[in-house]
Amino acid sequence: MHQISPEMQSCIDECLRCYQSCFGMAMTHCLEQGGKHVEPSHFRLMMACAEICKTSANFMLMNSPHHKHTCRECAEICEECARSCEQVGDMQDCVEACRRCAESCRKMAA
Amino acid sequence: MHQISPEMQSCIDECLRCYQSCFGMAMTHCLEQGGKHVEPSHFRLMMACAEICKTSANFMLMNSPHHKHTCRECAEICEECARSCEQVGDMQDCVEACRRCAESCRKMAA
Amino acid sequence: MHQISPEMQSCIDECLRCYQSCFGMAMTHCLEQGGKHVEPSHFRLMMACAEICKTSANFMLMNSPHHKHTCRECAEICEECARSCEQVGDMQDCVEACRRCAESCRKMAA
Amino acid sequence: MHQISPEMQSCIDECLRCYQSCFGMAMTHCLEQGGKHVEPSHFRLMMACAEICKTSANFMLMNSPHHKHTCRECAEICEECARSCEQVGDMQDCVEACRRCAESCRKMAA
Protein backbone atom coordinates (compact mmCIF):
# COMPACT_ATOMS: atom_id res chain seq x y z
CA MET A 1 0.00 0.00 0.00
CA HIS A 2 1.12 3.48 -0.89
CA GLN A 3 2.48 5.53 2.00
CA ILE A 4 3.51 9.17 1.58
CA SER A 5 7.00 9.65 3.05
CA PRO A 6 7.43 12.29 5.79
CA GLU A 7 9.58 14.35 3.38
CA MET A 8 6.89 14.34 0.72
CA GLN A 9 4.13 15.14 3.23
CA SER A 10 6.23 18.05 4.44
CA CYS A 11 6.61 19.31 0.88
CA ILE A 12 2.85 18.99 0.26
CA ASP A 13 2.28 21.04 3.41
CA GLU A 14 4.72 23.76 2.30
CA CYS A 15 3.16 23.88 -1.17
CA LEU A 16 -0.34 24.30 0.22
CA ARG A 17 0.86 26.91 2.72
CA CYS A 18 2.58 28.88 -0.04
CA TYR A 19 -0.50 28.49 -2.25
CA GLN A 20 -2.68 29.96 0.48
CA SER A 21 -0.26 32.79 1.12
CA CYS A 22 0.23 33.83 -2.52
CA PHE A 23 -3.38 33.46 -3.61
CA GLY A 24 -4.86 34.89 -0.41
CA MET A 25 -2.47 37.86 -0.21
CA ALA A 26 -2.93 38.70 -3.90
CA MET A 27 -6.71 38.66 -3.61
CA THR A 28 -6.86 40.72 -0.41
CA HIS A 29 -3.71 42.61 0.66
CA CYS A 30 -2.42 43.38 -2.85
CA LEU A 31 -5.76 44.46 -4.32
CA GLU A 32 -6.49 46.61 -1.26
CA GLN A 33 -3.06 48.25 -1.17
CA GLY A 34 -2.95 48.88 -4.93
CA GLY A 35 0.05 50.68 -6.47
CA LYS A 36 3.07 48.46 -6.95
CA HIS A 37 1.12 45.58 -5.31
CA VAL A 38 -0.99 45.31 -8.48
CA GLU A 39 1.86 45.96 -10.90
CA PRO A 40 1.16 43.30 -13.61
CA SER A 41 4.43 41.34 -13.45
CA HIS A 42 4.36 41.13 -9.63
CA PHE A 43 0.71 40.19 -9.38
CA ARG A 44 0.97 37.56 -12.13
CA LEU A 45 4.01 36.07 -10.44
CA MET A 46 2.03 35.63 -7.24
CA MET A 47 -0.75 33.92 -9.18
CA ALA A 48 1.69 31.75 -11.14
CA CYS A 49 3.30 30.77 -7.84
CA ALA A 50 -0.07 29.81 -6.34
CA GLU A 51 -0.90 27.76 -9.43
CA ILE A 52 2.37 25.77 -9.58
CA CYS A 53 2.26 25.16 -5.79
CA LYS A 54 -1.21 23.65 -6.15
CA THR A 55 -0.14 21.52 -9.10
CA SER A 56 2.99 20.27 -7.32
CA ALA A 57 0.92 19.38 -4.24
CA ASN A 58 -1.54 17.50 -6.47
CA PHE A 59 1.22 15.56 -8.25
CA MET A 60 2.63 14.47 -4.89
CA LEU A 61 -0.82 13.62 -3.52
CA MET A 62 -1.45 11.43 -6.55
CA ASN A 63 2.03 9.90 -6.28
CA SER A 64 2.92 10.83 -9.85
CA PRO A 65 6.57 10.31 -10.80
CA HIS A 66 6.32 13.64 -12.64
CA HIS A 67 6.22 15.47 -9.30
CA LYS A 68 10.01 15.91 -9.57
CA HIS A 69 9.54 18.13 -12.63
CA THR A 70 6.72 20.20 -11.19
CA CYS A 71 8.64 20.58 -7.90
CA ARG A 72 11.72 21.84 -9.78
CA GLU A 73 9.60 24.43 -11.59
CA CYS A 74 7.83 25.27 -8.34
CA ALA A 75 11.15 25.95 -6.59
CA GLU A 76 12.17 28.38 -9.36
CA ILE A 77 8.91 30.29 -9.38
CA CYS A 78 8.80 30.44 -5.56
CA GLU A 79 12.31 31.99 -5.44
CA GLU A 80 11.33 34.52 -8.08
CA CYS A 81 8.11 35.33 -6.21
CA ALA A 82 9.99 35.73 -2.91
CA ARG A 83 12.33 38.27 -4.53
CA SER A 84 9.43 40.18 -6.08
CA CYS A 85 7.59 40.29 -2.72
CA GLU A 86 10.74 41.59 -1.02
CA GLN A 87 11.05 44.40 -3.56
CA VAL A 88 7.40 45.36 -3.18
CA GLY A 89 7.79 45.25 0.60
CA ASP A 90 5.31 44.70 3.41
CA MET A 91 4.85 41.04 2.42
CA GLN A 92 7.13 39.21 4.83
CA ASP A 93 4.76 36.28 5.42
CA CYS A 94 4.61 35.60 1.72
CA VAL A 95 8.39 35.88 1.31
CA GLU A 96 8.89 33.28 4.04
CA ALA A 97 6.25 30.89 2.70
CA CYS A 98 7.85 31.08 -0.77
CA ARG A 99 11.37 30.49 0.57
CA ARG A 100 10.35 27.49 2.67
CA CYS A 101 8.40 26.00 -0.22
CA ALA A 102 11.30 26.54 -2.62
CA GLU A 103 13.69 24.75 -0.27
CA SER A 104 11.35 21.82 0.24
CA CYS A 105 10.63 21.52 -3.50
CA ARG A 106 14.34 21.55 -4.35
CA LYS A 107 14.82 18.52 -2.11
CA MET A 108 11.91 16.68 -3.72
CA ALA A 109 13.23 17.49 -7.21
CA ALA A 110 16.74 16.25 -6.44
CA MET B 1 -22.31 3.85 -20.84
CA HIS B 2 -22.41 7.46 -19.83
CA GLN B 3 -23.08 9.95 -22.60
CA ILE B 4 -23.01 13.68 -22.01
CA SER B 5 -26.18 15.23 -23.43
CA PRO B 6 -25.81 18.00 -26.04
CA GLU B 7 -27.29 20.48 -23.54
CA MET B 8 -24.73 19.56 -20.91
CA GLN B 9 -21.85 19.65 -23.39
CA SER B 10 -22.99 23.09 -24.46
CA CYS B 11 -23.03 24.24 -20.82
CA ILE B 12 -19.53 22.81 -20.25
CA ASP B 13 -18.36 24.75 -23.31
CA GLU B 14 -19.89 28.01 -22.05
CA CYS B 15 -18.40 27.51 -18.59
CA LEU B 16 -14.91 26.95 -19.97
CA ARG B 17 -15.28 29.92 -22.34
CA CYS B 18 -16.38 32.17 -19.49
CA TYR B 19 -13.57 30.80 -17.33
CA GLN B 20 -11.03 31.70 -19.99
CA SER B 21 -12.51 35.14 -20.49
CA CYS B 22 -12.71 36.10 -16.80
CA PHE B 23 -9.37 34.64 -15.74
CA GLY B 24 -7.50 35.73 -18.88
CA MET B 25 -8.93 39.27 -18.93
CA ALA B 26 -8.27 39.76 -15.21
CA MET B 27 -4.67 38.63 -15.53
CA THR B 28 -3.89 40.71 -18.64
CA HIS B 29 -6.34 43.49 -19.59
CA CYS B 30 -7.39 44.44 -16.04
CA LEU B 31 -3.88 44.42 -14.55
CA GLU B 32 -2.53 46.39 -17.49
CA GLN B 33 -5.33 48.98 -17.48
CA GLY B 34 -5.27 49.44 -13.69
CA GLY B 35 -7.62 51.96 -12.05
CA LYS B 36 -11.17 50.68 -11.66
CA HIS B 37 -10.14 47.46 -13.44
CA VAL B 38 -8.22 46.44 -10.31
CA GLU B 39 -10.75 47.76 -7.83
CA PRO B 40 -10.90 44.90 -5.27
CA SER B 41 -14.59 43.99 -5.49
CA HIS B 42 -14.56 43.96 -9.31
CA PHE B 43 -11.34 42.01 -9.63
CA ARG B 44 -12.38 39.43 -7.03
CA LEU B 45 -15.72 38.96 -8.75
CA MET B 46 -13.93 38.11 -11.99
CA MET B 47 -11.78 35.58 -10.16
CA ALA B 48 -14.75 34.14 -8.28
CA CYS B 49 -16.57 33.83 -11.61
CA ALA B 50 -13.61 32.00 -13.18
CA GLU B 51 -13.46 29.64 -10.19
CA ILE B 52 -17.15 28.69 -10.11
CA CYS B 53 -17.19 28.26 -13.92
CA LYS B 54 -14.32 25.77 -13.66
CA THR B 55 -15.99 23.92 -10.80
CA SER B 56 -19.33 23.72 -12.63
CA ALA B 57 -17.59 22.41 -15.74
CA ASN B 58 -15.80 19.80 -13.62
CA PHE B 59 -19.02 18.67 -11.91
CA MET B 60 -20.66 18.20 -15.32
CA LEU B 61 -17.60 16.44 -16.75
CA MET B 62 -17.66 14.02 -13.82
CA ASN B 63 -21.43 13.61 -14.15
CA SER B 64 -22.03 14.57 -10.52
CA PRO B 65 -25.70 15.10 -9.58
CA HIS B 66 -24.49 18.13 -7.58
CA HIS B 67 -23.85 19.98 -10.83
CA LYS B 68 -27.32 21.51 -10.51
CA HIS B 69 -26.26 23.35 -7.37
CA THR B 70 -22.95 24.57 -8.73
CA CYS B 71 -24.65 25.65 -11.98
CA ARG B 72 -27.24 27.65 -10.02
CA GLU B 73 -24.47 29.43 -8.11
CA CYS B 74 -22.51 29.88 -11.33
CA ALA B 75 -25.49 31.57 -13.03
CA GLU B 76 -25.77 34.05 -10.15
CA ILE B 77 -22.08 34.94 -10.06
CA CYS B 78 -21.92 35.23 -13.86
CA GLU B 79 -24.81 37.72 -13.88
CA GLU B 80 -23.16 39.75 -11.13
CA CYS B 81 -19.84 39.67 -12.98
CA ALA B 82 -21.49 40.75 -16.25
CA ARG B 83 -23.01 43.79 -14.50
CA SER B 84 -19.67 44.67 -12.89
CA CYS B 85 -17.86 44.41 -16.24
CA GLU B 86 -20.50 46.65 -17.86
CA GLN B 87 -19.98 49.31 -15.19
CA VAL B 88 -16.20 49.17 -15.56
CA GLY B 89 -16.58 49.36 -19.33
CA ASP B 90 -14.34 48.24 -22.17
CA MET B 91 -14.99 44.57 -21.36
CA GLN B 92 -17.68 43.59 -23.83
CA ASP B 93 -16.26 40.13 -24.59
CA CYS B 94 -16.34 39.26 -20.91
CA VAL B 95 -19.88 40.61 -20.48
CA GLU B 96 -21.09 38.40 -23.32
CA ALA B 97 -19.28 35.29 -22.10
CA CYS B 98 -20.77 35.77 -18.63
CA ARG B 99 -24.32 36.31 -19.97
CA ARG B 100 -24.18 33.24 -22.21
CA CYS B 101 -22.78 31.10 -19.42
CA ALA B 102 -25.42 32.35 -16.96
CA GLU B 103 -28.21 31.46 -19.37
CA SER B 104 -26.81 28.01 -20.04
CA CYS B 105 -26.25 27.32 -16.32
CA ARG B 106 -29.79 28.40 -15.43
CA LYS B 107 -31.13 25.75 -17.82
CA MET B 108 -28.88 23.06 -16.31
CA ALA B 109 -29.92 24.06 -12.79
CA ALA B 110 -33.64 23.92 -13.58
CA MET C 1 -7.16 46.20 5.76
CA HIS C 2 -8.71 42.81 5.31
CA GLN C 3 -8.14 40.35 8.12
CA ILE C 4 -9.37 36.77 7.94
CA SER C 5 -11.28 35.94 11.13
CA PRO C 6 -10.10 32.96 13.20
CA GLU C 7 -13.34 31.14 12.33
CA MET C 8 -12.80 31.62 8.62
CA GLN C 9 -9.13 30.62 8.83
CA SER C 10 -10.19 27.48 10.67
CA CYS C 11 -12.72 26.69 7.91
CA ILE C 12 -10.08 27.25 5.21
CA ASP C 13 -7.81 24.82 7.08
CA GLU C 14 -10.54 22.17 7.31
CA CYS C 15 -11.40 22.58 3.62
CA LEU C 16 -7.78 22.14 2.55
CA ARG C 17 -7.35 19.17 4.91
CA CYS C 18 -10.47 17.51 3.50
CA TYR C 19 -9.33 18.33 -0.03
CA GLN C 20 -6.02 16.60 0.61
CA SER C 21 -7.68 13.60 2.20
CA CYS C 22 -10.31 13.04 -0.52
CA PHE C 23 -8.07 13.72 -3.50
CA GLY C 24 -5.03 11.93 -2.05
CA MET C 25 -6.95 8.86 -0.85
CA ALA C 26 -8.84 8.54 -4.14
CA MET C 27 -5.64 8.71 -6.17
CA THR C 28 -3.67 6.25 -4.01
CA HIS C 29 -5.63 4.09 -1.54
CA CYS C 30 -8.82 3.74 -3.63
CA LEU C 31 -7.09 3.02 -6.94
CA GLU C 32 -4.75 0.52 -5.26
CA GLN C 33 -7.52 -1.27 -3.35
CA GLY C 34 -9.88 -1.40 -6.31
CA GLY C 35 -13.28 -3.12 -5.98
CA LYS C 36 -15.87 -0.98 -4.22
CA HIS C 37 -13.22 1.73 -3.73
CA VAL C 38 -13.43 2.51 -7.46
CA GLU C 39 -17.17 2.07 -7.76
CA PRO C 40 -18.13 5.09 -9.94
CA SER C 41 -20.55 6.85 -7.60
CA HIS C 42 -18.21 6.55 -4.60
CA PHE C 43 -15.10 7.62 -6.47
CA ARG C 44 -16.83 10.58 -8.13
CA LEU C 45 -18.19 11.71 -4.79
CA MET C 46 -14.66 11.81 -3.39
CA MET C 47 -13.52 13.88 -6.36
CA ALA C 48 -16.56 16.18 -6.16
CA CYS C 49 -15.83 16.63 -2.46
CA ALA C 50 -12.19 17.53 -3.17
CA GLU C 51 -13.31 20.02 -5.83
CA ILE C 52 -15.90 21.85 -3.73
CA CYS C 53 -13.51 21.96 -0.73
CA LYS C 54 -10.88 23.67 -2.90
CA THR C 55 -13.43 26.12 -4.29
CA SER C 56 -14.79 26.98 -0.84
CA ALA C 57 -11.26 27.55 0.45
CA ASN C 58 -10.55 29.81 -2.54
CA PHE C 59 -13.74 31.83 -2.02
CA MET C 60 -12.79 32.41 1.61
CA LEU C 61 -9.17 33.23 0.73
CA MET C 62 -10.41 35.84 -1.74
CA ASN C 63 -12.94 37.13 0.77
CA SER C 64 -15.85 36.65 -1.64
CA PRO C 65 -19.30 37.13 -0.12
CA HIS C 66 -20.37 34.08 -2.17
CA HIS C 67 -18.37 31.84 0.18
CA LYS C 68 -21.55 31.27 2.17
CA HIS C 69 -23.12 29.50 -0.81
CA THR C 70 -20.09 27.38 -1.65
CA CYS C 71 -19.67 26.48 2.05
CA ARG C 72 -23.30 25.37 2.25
CA GLU C 73 -22.83 23.12 -0.80
CA CYS C 74 -19.50 21.94 0.60
CA ALA C 75 -21.12 20.88 3.89
CA GLU C 76 -23.70 18.81 2.00
CA ILE C 77 -21.20 17.06 -0.24
CA CYS C 78 -18.82 16.41 2.69
CA GLU C 79 -21.61 14.72 4.67
CA GLU C 80 -22.54 12.58 1.68
CA CYS C 81 -18.89 11.70 1.11
CA ALA C 82 -18.40 10.78 4.79
CA ARG C 83 -21.37 8.37 4.59
CA SER C 84 -20.06 6.83 1.37
CA CYS C 85 -16.58 6.35 2.89
CA GLU C 86 -18.15 4.69 5.97
CA GLN C 87 -20.04 2.23 3.77
CA VAL C 88 -16.94 1.39 1.76
CA GLY C 89 -14.97 0.98 4.99
CA ASP C 90 -11.28 1.28 5.77
CA MET C 91 -11.36 5.05 5.20
CA GLN C 92 -11.64 6.45 8.72
CA ASP C 93 -9.26 9.38 8.14
CA CYS C 94 -11.33 10.55 5.21
CA VAL C 95 -14.60 10.14 7.14
CA GLU C 96 -13.24 12.34 9.93
CA ALA C 97 -11.84 15.00 7.60
CA CYS C 98 -15.21 15.20 5.81
CA ARG C 99 -17.20 15.44 9.08
CA ARG C 100 -14.97 18.18 10.49
CA CYS C 101 -15.09 20.14 7.25
CA ALA C 102 -18.88 19.78 7.03
CA GLU C 103 -19.30 21.12 10.55
CA SER C 104 -16.99 24.06 9.92
CA CYS C 105 -18.66 24.90 6.59
CA ARG C 106 -22.13 24.81 8.14
CA LYS C 107 -21.03 27.48 10.60
CA MET C 108 -19.59 29.66 7.82
CA ALA C 109 -22.77 29.26 5.76
CA ALA C 110 -25.05 30.25 8.64
CA MET D 1 -1.91 46.17 -24.57
CA HIS D 2 -1.46 42.44 -24.26
CA GLN D 3 -2.71 40.38 -27.18
CA ILE D 4 -2.60 36.58 -27.17
CA SER D 5 -0.98 35.39 -30.42
CA PRO D 6 -2.97 32.98 -32.63
CA GLU D 7 -0.39 30.26 -31.84
CA MET D 8 -0.82 30.70 -28.13
CA GLN D 9 -4.60 30.82 -28.35
CA SER D 10 -4.49 27.60 -30.34
CA CYS D 11 -2.33 25.98 -27.65
CA ILE D 12 -4.72 27.17 -24.90
CA ASP D 13 -7.58 25.60 -26.87
CA GLU D 14 -5.74 22.28 -27.23
CA CYS D 15 -4.83 22.24 -23.54
CA LEU D 16 -8.42 22.83 -22.47
CA ARG D 17 -9.68 20.23 -24.95
CA CYS D 18 -7.19 17.68 -23.64
CA TYR D 19 -8.08 18.62 -20.06
CA GLN D 20 -11.74 17.96 -20.77
CA SER D 21 -11.01 14.69 -22.51
CA CYS D 22 -8.68 13.26 -19.84
CA PHE D 23 -10.65 14.41 -16.82
CA GLY D 24 -14.05 13.66 -18.33
CA MET D 25 -13.12 10.22 -19.68
CA ALA D 26 -11.42 9.22 -16.41
CA MET D 27 -14.45 10.22 -14.35
CA THR D 28 -17.02 8.53 -16.61
CA HIS D 29 -15.76 6.03 -19.19
CA CYS D 30 -12.84 4.66 -17.14
CA LEU D 31 -14.73 4.33 -13.86
CA GLU D 32 -17.68 2.69 -15.64
CA GLN D 33 -15.54 0.26 -17.65
CA GLY D 34 -13.33 -0.70 -14.70
CA GLY D 35 -10.58 -3.29 -15.15
CA LYS D 36 -7.47 -1.94 -16.81
CA HIS D 37 -9.21 1.45 -17.16
CA VAL D 38 -8.81 1.97 -13.41
CA GLU D 39 -5.36 0.44 -13.16
CA PRO D 40 -3.57 2.94 -10.83
CA SER D 41 -0.72 4.04 -13.11
CA HIS D 42 -3.04 4.57 -16.11
CA PHE D 43 -5.71 6.40 -14.17
CA ARG D 44 -3.20 8.65 -12.38
CA LEU D 45 -1.57 9.48 -15.69
CA MET D 46 -4.90 10.67 -17.06
CA MET D 47 -5.40 12.84 -13.98
CA ALA D 48 -1.81 14.16 -14.10
CA CYS D 49 -2.37 14.99 -17.77
CA ALA D 50 -5.59 16.88 -16.99
CA GLU D 51 -3.81 18.81 -14.23
CA ILE D 52 -0.79 19.90 -16.26
CA CYS D 53 -3.01 20.83 -19.23
CA LYS D 54 -5.04 23.12 -16.97
CA THR D 55 -1.91 24.65 -15.47
CA SER D 56 -0.34 25.25 -18.89
CA ALA D 57 -3.54 26.88 -20.13
CA ASN D 58 -3.57 29.11 -17.03
CA PHE D 59 0.07 30.15 -17.49
CA MET D 60 -0.64 31.14 -21.08
CA LEU D 61 -3.87 32.93 -20.14
CA MET D 62 -1.94 34.95 -17.55
CA ASN D 63 0.86 35.58 -20.01
CA SER D 64 3.49 34.15 -17.66
CA PRO D 65 6.96 33.66 -19.17
CA HIS D 66 7.07 30.35 -17.28
CA HIS D 67 4.51 28.90 -19.71
CA LYS D 68 7.41 27.51 -21.74
CA HIS D 69 8.38 25.23 -18.86
CA THR D 70 4.86 24.05 -18.11
CA CYS D 71 4.21 23.49 -21.84
CA ARG D 72 7.36 21.36 -22.11
CA GLU D 73 6.24 19.22 -19.18
CA CYS D 74 2.71 19.13 -20.60
CA ALA D 75 3.98 17.80 -23.95
CA GLU D 76 5.83 14.98 -22.18
CA ILE D 77 2.91 13.94 -20.01
CA CYS D 78 0.47 14.14 -22.95
CA GLU D 79 2.67 11.79 -25.03
CA GLU D 80 2.90 9.35 -22.14
CA CYS D 81 -0.85 9.53 -21.59
CA ALA D 82 -1.54 8.97 -25.31
CA ARG D 83 0.57 5.79 -25.23
CA SER D 84 -1.14 4.55 -22.08
CA CYS D 85 -4.60 5.18 -23.60
CA GLU D 86 -3.58 3.29 -26.75
CA GLN D 87 -2.49 0.29 -24.68
CA VAL D 88 -5.72 0.29 -22.68
CA GLY D 89 -7.69 0.63 -25.92
CA ASP D 90 -11.14 2.01 -26.66
CA MET D 91 -9.98 5.57 -25.92
CA GLN D 92 -9.28 6.99 -29.38
CA ASP D 93 -10.69 10.45 -28.64
CA CYS D 94 -8.39 10.83 -25.68
CA VAL D 95 -5.37 9.59 -27.65
CA GLU D 96 -6.00 12.21 -30.32
CA ALA D 97 -6.58 15.05 -27.86
CA CYS D 98 -3.32 14.18 -26.09
CA ARG D 99 -1.33 13.98 -29.35
CA ARG D 100 -2.64 17.31 -30.62
CA CYS D 101 -1.99 19.00 -27.29
CA ALA D 102 1.54 17.55 -27.12
CA GLU D 103 2.35 18.87 -30.58
CA SER D 104 0.99 22.33 -29.81
CA CYS D 105 2.81 22.48 -26.44
CA ARG D 106 6.11 21.45 -28.01
CA LYS D 107 5.86 24.45 -30.34
CA MET D 108 5.11 26.81 -27.46
CA ALA D 109 8.01 25.42 -25.45
CA ALA D 110 10.51 25.82 -28.29
Q: Nearest-CA distance from D4 to chain C in Å?
A: 27
Does residue A1 form part of some domain? Answer: no
The predicted-structure confidence for B71-86, as pLDDT tens digits, reads as follows: 999 999 999 999 999 9
For C76, the closest chain B residue by CA position comes to: B66
Percent of chain D with pLDDT over 70: 98
Cα(D103)–Cα(C29) distance, integer angstroms: 34
Domain count, chain C: 1
In contact, B19 and B53? CB cutoff 8 Å: yes
Q: What is the 8-class DSSP label of residue A2? A: -
Query: In chain A, which ranges are continuous DSSP H helix?
Result: 6-25, 31-33, 40-61, 67-88, 92-109
For C50, the closest chain B residue by CA position comes to: B55
Q: Domain range for residue C87?
A: 6-25+35-109
Who among A45, A59, A77 is closest to D48 (CB)? A59
Any CB–CB contact under 8 A between D47 and chain B? no
Residues of chain D contacting A69 with CB distance shorter than 8 Å: 73, 76
Say yes or no for a CB contact (<8 Å) between B61 and D23. yes
Entry pTM: 0.97
pLDDT at residue A3 greater than cutoff 90: no
Please state, in angstroms and as integers, the Cα–Cα distance from residue D66 to each residue in A74, A101, B24, B59, C22, following that order: 10, 18, 16, 29, 30
Cα–Cα nearest to B98, from B27, B32, B17: B17
The predicted-structure confidence for D22-76, as pLDDT tens digits, reads as follows: 999 999 999 999 999 999 999 999 999 999 999 999 999 999 999 999 999 999 9
Does residue C1 form part of some domain? Answer: no
Q: What pLDDT does residue B2 have? A: 61
Confidence of residue A50 (pLDDT cuts 50, 70, 90): very high
Give the three-class secondary structure for D38: helix
Q: What pLDDT does residue D2 have? A: 60
Tens place of pLDDT per residue across chain C (110 aa): 467 899 999 999 999 999 999 999 999 999 999 999 999 999 999 999 999 999 999 999 999 999 999 999 999 999 999 999 999 999 999 999 999 999 999 999 99
Q: Domain holding B65: CATH number?
A: 1.20.1270.360
Does residue B1 form part of some domain? Answer: no
Say yes or no for a CB contact (<8 Å) between C55 and B59. no
Size of interface A-C (CB pairs under 8 A): 45
Q: Which of D2, D9, D18, D37 to mutate to test the interface with B (most CBs of B within 10 A)?
A: D2
Does residue D74 form part of some domain? Answer: yes
Cα–Cα nearest to B42, from B78, B89, B88: B88
Does residue D87 form part of some domain? Answer: yes
What is the overall mean pLDDT for chain B? Answer: 96
Percent of chain B with pLDDT over 90: 96
Does residue A42 form part of some domain? Answer: yes
pLDDT at residue A1 greater than cutoff 70: no
Does residue A43 form part of some domain? Answer: yes
pLDDT at residue B35 greater than cutoff 60: yes
ipTM of this model? 0.96
Q: What pLDDT does residue C2 have? A: 60
Q: What pLDDT does residue D25 have? A: 97
Does residue B30 form part of some domain? Answer: no
Element (H, E) at C75: helix C67-88
